[in-house]
C-alpha cells in the first residue's frame, strides 16, 4: 500500500512539474521577455507598434528601408512626442547594399546667430536652462529626412509621410509607457504658449487608450511632403517659428533656418573580438562606446560571467575613464579638432587601462592627453529585402523638448542647446551657429565586411553604456538579440560632463533588478556607491541582425511600448 502511494505521489509530481514547465519559456535566459522575431523579406523595430506597422506598410509598397524608417520616424513624432518630433535632431547610419558600404548622416542643428555668450553673462547664468527659448537650436530632423530620401529613397515623400498624416488627422490611441511620460511632462510645459492647446485634452494629459488627434501636425507634414525640405527651412514654417521665438524671448531667425545643412560623414569603428562596431564621430558621443570596448577587450569577460563583480567593476571604471575624455574633447568638429583617431585606438586604450585598480573603485580620473599622440529620444532600425539597413535615432533632447510650441505647427522645438558649456575657451563652449554636444547615437556592427547588426539604445548619456552592454551581452555572454536587450542593465551617474560639471566622488552605480544576489554588497566592498535605479534610467533598445542567408532577426525593447515585426 505504501509503495502504491509513493508511486502515485511520484507520478503526480512528474505531471505537476511538467505542467508548470509548460507555462514557462523552453528556451532563453530567465529574464527574456519574448522570442526574437524572424522574417525573410524585411524587418522593422521601433518603440511603438503603430510606427513599426507603418514601416512595414512602406516596405510592402516597394519602399526601401530608408523610406520605411522616415515613415516610422514621422509616426513616432506624432504618437511618441515624449521622445522626438519635427522640432528635434537626427543621426543615422545606413548600410547600402549596392555599394556594400556604411554611410553616416549628422542632421543636427546649430545655435542661433543672434544669441551670444554675452547674453548669458548678462543674465548671470552658469548653465543654459532646459526649458524655454534659450536652449532652442535649429531643428535638423526634416532636413535629415530629405537627405536620407534623396540618397536612398524610392517612394515619393507624399507616400512616405502618409501614415503619419493619417494618424495625426484621424487620431491614434495612446500606448501605456508613452501616456505615463506624457502625463509627467504636461505640468512643467503647460506654461509655454500653445503647448496646452496642442498637447492636452481639456487641459490634461491624454490617457492610455484615449484617442488623440494633432491636426496641426498633419497640415505641417502635408506641407513638407508636397513642398520638400525648403517648405520647412525657407518658407512659411520657418517664418512662423522665427516670429514665435521673437515674441517669446527667443533668438532663432529665418536666416538660421535658411542656412541649415546636414552633413554626410564617415562612420568610425573599432574591432571587438572579431566584430567591427561602428559609431559616428563628434559632435555626438558615439566614440565613447568604442573607447569603452577597447578598454574592456583585454579583460576575460566570458570567464568572469554576466553579473559578476568583475564584469560590473571593469565596465564602470572604463566608463569613468572614457567620460573624462568625452567631457574634455567631444564637440562640433567645425569649431574643435577632436583627436578621434587616437581616442579610439588600441594603443590609447592600453595606456588608459593602466589607471584601473582591479580591487578598488576610483573617486576621480583626469582626461587623457590624446592630442600629444595625434598631430529621451527614440531609436528605430529597419531592413529591406535588398539588404539595405538603417540605424536611426531622433530626439528633442529632454523628453518633449523646450516647451516652445510654434503657432499652428503641431510640434515642440528641441532644447539641445542646454548641452553647451557657458565657460569660455572649452571645446563645447557656446558660440553662435555651432552644433552642441549630442547624446543621441546610432550604431552598427559588421563582421568580415558584411552587415551583421543594426542597433541602438536611446536614453541620454546612458547610450554609450547601453551600446557597450548590448555588444558584450552578445559577444562575451552568448545572448541572442532579444536577450541582449532584456538583460538587466548597469548605469553610472556622476561623471564629468561636457557642460562643465566635474566628477569628484566616483559617482554612483545604478543596477537594474535581476542581477545576482550579493552583487551590490561585493561592489560596495570595492568602494563603489550602489543603488537600485528607478524605471526609465536604462534607455530603450531595438536591433536587427542579418544572417548570411539574408534572413533577418529582430528584437525590441521590453521597457518601452515597442514592437519588432517582419514579413
Q: Which residues are catalytic?
A: 377
Q: Report the distance separating Cα 492 and Cα 510, nearest Å.
A: 6
8 Å CB contact between 227 and 145: no
- DSSP assignments along 255-301, one per residue: HHHHT---EEE--EEEEETTEEEEEPPTTBSTHHHHHHHHHHTTS-H
Count other C-beta atoms under 10 Å from residue 244's C-beta.
21
- Opening angle at CA 45, ends 41 and 48, nearest 5: 135
Q: Report the distance separating Cα 59 and Cα 62, nearest Å.
A: 5
Instruction: Determine the distance from the C-alpha atom of residue 131 to the mean position of all C-alpha atoms in its chain, rounded to a whole number.
Output: 21
The long-range contacts involving 24-28, CB below 8 angstroms and separated by at least 24 positions, are 28/480, 28/482, 28/483
Count other C-beta atoms under 10 Å from residue 28's C-beta.
17
Q: Report the distance separating Cα 28 and Cα 562, nearest Å.
A: 20
8 Å CB contact between 338 and 282: yes
Provide the CB-side half-sphere exposure for 69 (13 A, CA): 35
Distances (CA, A) of 91 to 200, 233, 275, 314, 334: 29, 18, 22, 29, 17
8 Å CB contact between 28 and 480: yes
Looking only at the bridges linking them, the beta strands covering 490-493 and 443-447 are unpaired
Among 154, 170, 172, smallest CA distance to 58 is for 154
Q: In the chain, what is the straight-line distance between the N-terminal and C-terminal CA atoms, in Å?
A: 59
Amino acid at each position: 500500500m505504501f509503495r502504491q502511494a509513493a508511486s502515485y505521489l511520484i507520478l503526480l509530481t512528474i505531471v505537476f512539474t511538467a505542467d508548470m514547465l509548460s507555462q514557462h519559456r523552453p528556451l532563453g535566459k530567465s529574464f527574456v521577455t519574448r522570442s526574437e522575431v524572424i522574417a525573410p523579406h524585411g524587418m522593422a523595430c521601433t518603440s511603438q507598434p503603430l510606427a513599426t506597422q507603418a514601416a512595414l506598410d512602406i516596405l510592402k509598397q516597394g519602399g526601401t528601408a530608408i523610406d520605411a524608417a522616415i515613415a516610422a520616424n514621422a509616426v513616432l513624432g506624432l504618437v511618441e512626442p515624449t521622445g522626438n518630433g519635427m522640432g528635434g535632431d537626427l543621426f543615422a547610419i545606413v548600410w547600402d547594399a549596392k555599394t556594400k558600404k556604411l554611410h553616416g548622416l549628422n542632421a543636427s542643428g546649430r545655435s542661433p546667430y543672434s544669441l551670444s555668450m554675452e547674453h548669458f553673462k548678462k543674465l548671470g547664468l552658469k548653465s543654459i536652462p532646459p526649458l524655454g527659448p534659450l536652449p532652442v537650436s535649429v531643428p535638423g530632423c526634416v532636413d535629415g529626412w530629405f537627405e536620407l530620401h534623396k540618397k536612398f529613397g524610392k517612394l515619393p515623400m507624399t507616400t512616405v509621410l502618409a501614415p503619419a498624416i493619417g494618424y495625426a488627422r484621424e487620431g491614434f490611441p495612446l500606448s501605456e509607457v508613452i501616456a505615463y511620460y506624457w502625463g509627467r511632462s504636461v505640468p512643467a510645459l503647460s506654461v509655454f504658449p500653445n503647448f496646452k492647446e496642442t498637447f492636452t485634452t481639456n487641459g490634461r494629459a491624454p490617457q492610455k487608450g484615449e484617442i488623440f488627434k494633432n491636426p496641426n501636425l498633419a497640415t505641417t507634414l502635408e506641407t513638407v511632403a508636397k513642398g520638400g525640405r525648403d517648405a520647412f527651412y525657407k518658407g512659411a514654417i520657418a517664418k512662423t517659428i522665427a516670429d514665435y521665438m521673437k515674441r517669446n524671448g527667443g533668438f532663432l531667425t529665418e536666416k538660421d533656418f535658411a542656412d541649415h545643412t546636414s552633413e554626410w560623414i564617415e562612420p568610425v569603428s573599432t574591432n571587438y573580438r572579431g566584430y567591427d562596431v561602428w559609431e559616428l564621430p563628434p559632435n555626438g558621443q558615439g566614440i565613447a562606446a568604442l573607447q569603452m570596448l577597447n578598454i574592456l577587450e583585454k579583460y576575460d569577460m566570458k570567464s568572469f560571467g554576466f553579473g559578476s563583480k568583475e564584469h560590473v567593476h571593469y565596465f564602470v571604471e572604463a566608463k569613468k575613464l572614457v567620460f573624462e575624455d568625452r567631457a574634455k574633447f567631444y564637440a562640433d568638429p567645425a569649431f574643435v579638432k577632436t583627436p578621434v583617431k587616437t581616442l579610439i585606438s588600441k594603443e590609447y586604450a592600453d595606456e588608459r587601462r593602466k589607471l584601473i585598480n582591479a580591487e578598488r573603485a576610483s573617486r576621480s580620473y583626469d582626461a587623457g592627453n590624446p592630442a600629444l599622440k595625434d598631430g529621451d529620444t527614440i531609436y528605430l532600425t529597419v531592413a529591406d529585402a535588398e539588404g539595405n539597413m538603417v540605424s536611426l535615432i531622433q530626439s528633442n533632447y529632454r523628453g518633449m523638448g523646450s516647451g516652445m510650441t510654434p503657432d499652428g505647427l503641431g510640434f515642440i522645438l528641441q532644447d539641445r542647446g542646454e548641452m553647451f558649456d557657458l565657460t569660455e575657451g572649452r571645446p563645447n563652449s557656446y558660440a553662435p551657429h555651432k552644433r552642441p554636444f549630442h547624446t543621441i547615437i546610432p550604431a552598427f556592427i559588421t563582421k568580415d565586411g558584411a552587415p551583421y547588426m543594426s542597433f541602438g539604445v536611446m536614453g541620454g548619456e546612458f547610450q554609450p553604456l547601453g551600446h557597450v552592454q548590448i555588444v558584450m551581452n552578445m559577444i562575451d555572454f552568448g545572448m541572442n538579440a532579444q536577450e541582449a536587450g532584456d538583460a538587466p542593465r548597469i548605469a553610472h551617474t556622476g561623471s564629468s560632463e561636457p557642460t562643465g560639471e566635474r566628477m569628484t566622488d566616483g559617482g554612483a552605480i545604478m543596477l537594474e533588478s535581476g542581477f545576482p544576489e550579493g552583487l551590490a554588497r561585493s561592489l560596495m566592498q570595492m568602494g563603489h556607491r550602489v543603488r537600485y535605479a528607478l524605471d526609465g534610467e536604462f534607455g530603450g533598445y531595438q536591433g536587427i541582425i542579418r544572417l548570411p542567408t539574408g534572413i533577418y532577426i529582430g528584437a525590441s525593447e521590453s521597457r518601452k511600448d515597442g514592437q519588432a515585426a517582419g514579413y
